[in-house]
Structure 1
Amino acid sequence: MTSLLILFFLALLASLFFAGCRRSHSHRRLPPGPKGWPVLGSIPHLGSKPHQTLYALSKNHGPLLHLRLGSVHVIVVSTATTAAHFLRTHDANFSNRPSNSGAEHIAYNYRDLVFAPYGPRWRMLRRLCALQLFSAKALEDLRHVRGEEIARLVRLFSRAGKPMDVGANVNTCVTNALSLAVVGRRVFGSDDGAAEFKEMVVELMRLAGVFNVGDFVPALAWLDPQGIVKKMKKLHKRFDGFLNKLIIEHQKMADKSNDLLSVLLKLKEETDEERTKLTDIEIKALLLNLFVAGTETTSIAIEWALVELIRSPGLLGRVQEELDSVVGRDRLVSESDLSGLPLLQAVVKETFRLHPSTPLSLPREAAEDCEVDGFFIPRGATLLVNVWAIGRDPVAWPDEPLAFQPDRFLPGGLHHGVDVKGGDFELIPFGAGRRICAGLSLGLRMVQFMVATLVHAFDWASDDQFDMEEASGLSLRRAVPLVVRPVPRLSREAYDKEFYT
């Protein structure tokens, strides 16, 4: 009874505070939106798939939507034009992230790249990643690594003779390719922790996708009413153990290569300036970003692309014909082939449009009051860009926006020339502006390379009708994993070579 009375008292105080906040902005015109519940606001309305809920709300209230989640003003953008106003015109004002329990309890208390405050340390971490992993030179230097890992996956599939969980195996391949660049070795063999690691990543994305009441109603944070913080702390310990093990094993390596971890450990010893000084915490936080964001989003996109192609035999046949004409049937695809595969590139773009790996962009926070489209956006408001909704906007995509039609990106199509690099706001799966995904170049190349290789090397046998339901969470995983039987379609010699460049 005492606990209930305390909870009621806190809720009453919070309610009075919110009422005061609303009165303070009553003379300024906020964007339209639903009224919401007392204290909690619209949190109970969001459901397990907020991107879908917010898309439906935008149809009723307009492309610039205002929600009150607890004490927080949340602005949701659902069209390309409005997204450009925020991520280009007002980008500097929205360059920081709002505080949240995930960044605090999983991402080493904002010491990572994704959630770090915009400033010298963030720029230093981003510059390191760009130079060591994502620059044109780094991508070229590590091309053989990606080729060898994909060849391993192809050999595994070619000898399977049974249905395979495509997403799980692709995730292992992507993780090993990334780990060779980051820590100088493969972290997973055929069955030595890959499944557990993927389960950890999926759990992280699931927890990060929940709107935690404590983030929006600070008076209730100590109660952790959904148990989210408790689960985050437990998951953090598992990730921390994984990362500590990577660092310890790396330090024992006799052959220290010029991988990212070697560079980070060297900088840790050399840098004295407090603003940019690296510690073990920053190093682990950055590795966490790379291993989570760099593997989950890539494998998700590959899985969705394969599902869409398998569901459309005519389109799949066209893509295979293009690949055969460029590559032939005596070898696997190489990265140098990708520039000559316009239909394959269009398939990847269409996949990103309908199935963006992160359907709601990571949140940003308004540093100062501003005005967008005639509406008042208050300081401290959280900005969410509904990338999933933008990809379905009939104004931006008038030619059957819900249909999977890669031809829209080919010469003669309405969207020929549109790319995913942040300049065309109708297609921003990697975000845009200052906080655009640092790994865009590697992620895009890896998705194109793996989709091209798997489509070229195999036909895919399945009697499944393919449930297209989306799972809940921060990332847009499939609710039902893609399990199909790969059937080799190339010459036998193509599958036996050691690696491909």
Structure 2
Amino acid sequence: MDLLLIITLVCAGTLTFLILRLLFNQTHRTIKLPPGPSFFQIIRNIFELGRNPHIAFTKLSKIYGPIMTLKLGNITTIVISSPQLAKQVLLENSQAFSSRTIPHVMRVFDHHRSSITFLPPSEQWRNYRRVCATKVFSPQKLDSTKIIRQQKLKELLGFVKDKSIKGEALDLGKAVFTTVLNSISNTLFSKDLSDSTSDEKSQEFKNIVEGAMEDAGKPNIVDFFPILGPLDPQGLQARMSIYLTKLIKIIDGIIEERMCSRVSKIDSGSEVANDVLDSILCNVEATQLSRNEMTHVFLDLFIAGIDTTVVTVEWAMAQLLRNPDKLKKTREELCQAIGEDETLEESHVSKLPYLQAVVKEIFRLHPAIPFLVPRKCDEDVTISGFQVPKDAQVIVNLWAIGRDPTIWENPDMFLPERFLDCEVNFKGHNFELIPFGAGKRICVGMPLADRAVHLMLASLLHNFEWKLADGLTPDHMNMKEQFGLSLKRVQPLRVQAISLKT
């Protein structure tokens, strides 16, 4: 029913728009837009556009080229599907493309006005970036907080070992979610927000974060026809209000509690916590963050940082289990590089080139954010001989770039070997592999994600042998994707672990 409503509204609204456009066409200057499908071709593909836009856009780009125009409602969307053009947008013309398109759902509680993700380049945005770079993601800060990540990882391994001893299967994504959530919450607040023994509490927080990510990524009729905003026909803003209300209540409650405890501890001469929140509260004048801004910055860090890391680890384990020869190679490298009784640490990752290749291959095949975060063009720009008009939405289709046969040999196959003895990395310099974006708006959390994904994947493989649960075989795994702001698996990965250590 939801999809039928979208189709009806899109058809009615777009037909009205086309009629008005024809009536007033003479008053508008003609510009050379990139080629693209007609309105009727879009309607024929509306089901795929709604459910799997990353796939639909990729198919259309094979017809219309690596720069393509889509017109739905009164928004002009330009889709980029090649590394050369992505470089022009994200780096060479970064000033013109540095603003964001703001989805209607992210205007809840004016989140877009205090969000490092959606703010346009401004002094406020630069201040947020500076705070995150110095208080959260600097090499020195990450080194000082690695003991927290190590402890949370130890708890994950303990949980998996307990399941192994009992012969029970586990939902790997759910277990990894709890670990990543608590790693981030302890780094920020010195506090667990979930635990593996409280499955209900963990699942509730997981539902909130995943629900927010899914609804933030869904095609929304209101984004095409803003006049429908007050009606919220798909109910997306209403659901987002529920998610953000719960998250803001949790985060603001922690800030309130800390501010009160700091006063009493300072008065009594006791030590205060040495975490990100305390660092910000100690330097309020320097950070220039109000309490409301702190809440929304932390909200961004939770939503973006948790889901993308979990999705990447789960896809990596799924592909390794589906390709037992690759799993064997990864484990053999770990056994050779790391002693049997040695505790894996972040510094060990440099000794594991095949594991690093596995992660790169996952970033290529299953980019956590398949469209990155859409950009907004601030001025008319010419790209590859075509005009990108001011206020157009610009999408970089990483999924299409990662599966382009002109760039990658056997693009649909999981082949980590393609990255061995290869200089391509994912730090924003090689535009055929930019899972964190590039240019001035590259993901500020990339340094933490880099460490977390490699260490967690290596630790799971070093301490356990793995097999699929419920009698499933590699040949019959469901590898379908579920589109949202992040690209997760349709079917959760259920596995059984066999402990390699007593």
Q: How many residues align?
A: 476
Q: What are the equivalent positions in structure 2 for 1:116-135 lying under 5 Å apart?
A: 116-135=119-138
Secondary structure of the 1:110 match is helix
Q: What are the equivalent positions in structure 2 for 1:149-164 lying under 5 Å apart?
A: 149-161=152-164, 162-164=168-170
1:207 aligns with 2:218: no
Q: What are the equivalent positions in structure 2 for 1:209-358 lying under 5 Å apart?
A: 209-253=217-261, 255-268=271-284, 270=285, 277-358=288-369
After superposing the two structures, state which structure 1 stretch, 214-223 or 138-147, moved more: 214-223
Selected match of 1:473 from 473, 478, 484? 484
1:59 aligns with 2:62: yes
1:74 aligns with 2:77: yes
Deviations 1:297-351 (A, max 9, x none): 0010000001111111111111111111111211332111110100000000001
1:169 aligns with 2:178: no
After superposing the two structures, state which structure 1 stretch, 247-256 or 462-471, moved more: 247-256
CA shift in 2, pair 1:17/1:332, >3 Å: farther
Counterpart for residue 3 of structure 1:
none
Q: Distance in 1 between matches of 2:43 and 2:237?
A: 18
Q: Distance in 1 between matches of 2:381 and 2:85?
A: 14
Selected match of 2:95 from 86, 92, 97? 92
Q: Distance in 1 between matches of 2:259 and 2:89?
A: 44
Report the CA distance between 1:14 and its aligned residue: 4.3
CA shift in 2, pair 1:178/1:98, >3 Å: same
Q: Percent identity?
A: 36
Selected match of 1:181 from 170, 187, 190? 187
Aligned residue type for 2:91: R
Kept in 2, the 8 Å contact 1:18–1:39? The answer is no
Secondary structure of the 1:486 match is strand
Q: Distance in 1 between matches of 2:137 and 2:310?
A: 18
Kept in 2, the 8 Å contact 1:36–1:42? The answer is no
CA shift in 2, pair 1:18/1:152, >3 Å: farther
Report the CA distance between 1:166 and its aligned residue: 0.6
Aligned residue type for 1:196: E
Q: Distance in 1 between matches of 2:499 and 2:85?
A: 46
CA shift in 2, pair 1:368/1:338, >3 Å: same
Kept in 1, the 8 Å contact 2:13–2:225? The answer is no
CA shift in 2, pair 1:473/1:327, >3 Å: same
Counterpart for residue 458 of structure 1:
464
Kept in 2, the 8 Å contact 1:39–1:70? The answer is no
CA shift in 2, pair 1:266/1:38, >3 Å: farther
Secondary structure of the 2:100 match is coil
* TM-score when normalising by structure 1: 0.90
Kept in 2, the 8 Å contact 1:301–1:357? The answer is yes
Q: Distance in 1 between matches of 2:414 and 2:153?
A: 26
Report the CA distance between 1:11 and its aligned residue: 7.6
Report the CA distance between 1:433 and its aligned residue: 1.0
Q: Distance in 2 between matches of 1:47 and 1:380?
A: 23
Kept in 2, the 8 Å contact 1:85–1:372? The answer is yes
1:196 aligns with 2:204: yes
Report the CA distance between 1:197 and its aligned residue: 0.9
Q: Distance in 1 between matches of 2:21 and 2:343?
A: 60
Report the CA distance between 1:68 and its aligned residue: 1.0
Q: Distance in 1 between matches of 2:289 and 2:23?
A: 43
Unaligned runs of 5+ in 2: 1-9, 266-270
CA shift in 2, pair 1:289/1:156, >3 Å: same
Kept in 2, the 8 Å contact 1:111–1:285? The answer is yes
Report the CA distance between 1:222 and its aligned residue: 2.3
Report the CA distance between 1:249 and its aligned residue: 3.3
CA shift in 2, pair 1:118/1:24, >3 Å: farther
Report the CA distance between 1:226 and its aligned residue: 1.6
Unaligned runs of 5+ in 1: 1-6, 493-501
Counterpart for residue 5 of structure 2:
none
CA shift in 2, pair 1:439/1:10, >3 Å: closer
Kept in 1, the 8 Å contact 2:104–2:229? The answer is no
Aligned residue type for 1:280: R
Kept in 2, the 8 Å contact 1:365–1:380? The answer is yes
Report the CA distance between 1:215 and its aligned residue: 1.7
Q: Distance in 2 between matches of 1:167 and 1:299?
A: 6
Counterpart for residue 498 of structure 1:
none
Deviations 1:453-473 (A, max 9, x none): 101111112232321011131
Secondary structure of the 1:186 match is coil
Kept in 1, the 8 Å contact 2:135–2:280? The answer is no
